[in-house]
Amino acid sequence: MATKDKYPLALHSLGKFIDNALHLQSFSDTLGGFHYNKELLKAATMNTYVETVGNRADSLYAAIHNSTLKGIAESYISVISVITRHVNLS
């Protein structure tokens, strides 16, 4: 069950996933995962496209286009392994 104290971890994990998967730099002058969180989450909750709810769709799609499926999969596995360490599965 999600609690409010878990939200920062979830948002940080989402930002790290986006940075790693799309080879973006955290805390740089360019857009990173932190900047895309709002648009991605809003689009997901509204069941719509990123360009419908945000103004960073072009840069997000360019980053996706320049990434590899292998990089995205490796980032996903890395983030999931970190998250599952914080979850009691017993």
pLDDT digits (tens, 9 = 90+) for 21-32: 887 766 556 666
Comparing 1-5, 29-33, 44-48, the range with the smallest average pLDDT is: 1-5
More confident of the two residues 45 and 24: 45
- What is the torsional sign of CA 50, 55, 58, 62? negative
CB-based contact 66:53 (threshold 8 Å): no
Averaged confidence pLDDT in the chain = 79
Instruction: Say what the pTM is.
Output: 0.66
Over residues 29-46, the mean pLDDT reads 78
Q: Give the residue extent of every domain in the chain.
A: 7-23+32-85
What is the distance between the terminal CA atoms of the chain, rounded to a whole angstrom? 14
In this prediction, residue 30 carries a pLDDT of 65
